[in-house]
């Protein structure tokens, strides 16, 4: 699924032998973002997430907006209750759903 999204959004073509490396990169990036989100220093959280989400972006306002979107998405996923929450396939696929 992730490779398909990547290919669709970039009009790229990933050779079958490169798929596992792409998925490893995706999992690595997910864990890096999760690590940033779990840090104690909340004052730097937005800037770090923004820098991570928009690597190479120098506009502070754009980085803060990107971080805000990430944080808002996390908050919305955490609000889910009940027996049938929407799944986050990346977390489920890497067996990380229990630690959200």
- For the chain, domain boundaries: 2-99
pLDDT at 59: 93
CA angle at 75 for the pair 71 and 76, rounded to the nearest 5°: 120
pLDDT at 5: 63
pTM of the model: 0.60
Once rounded to an integer, what is the mean pLDDT over residues 58-75? 86
Distances (CA, A) of 76 to 66, 85, 97: 15, 11, 15
Q: Does residue 32 have a pLDDT over 80?
A: yes
Distance CA 53, CA 99 (A): 21
């Amino acid at each position: 699924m992730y490779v398909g999204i990547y290919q669709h959004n970039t009009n790229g073509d990933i050779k079958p032998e490169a798929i596992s490396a792409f998925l490893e990169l995706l999992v690595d990036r997910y864990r890096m973002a999760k690590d940033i989100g779990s840090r104690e220093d909340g004052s730097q959280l937005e800037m770090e997430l923004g820098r991570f989400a928009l690597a190479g972006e120098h506009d502070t306002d754009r980085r803060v907006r990107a971080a805000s979107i990430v944080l808002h998405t996390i908050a919305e996923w955490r609000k889910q209750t009940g027996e049938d929450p929407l799944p986050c396939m990346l977390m489920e696929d890497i067996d990380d759903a229990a630690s959200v």
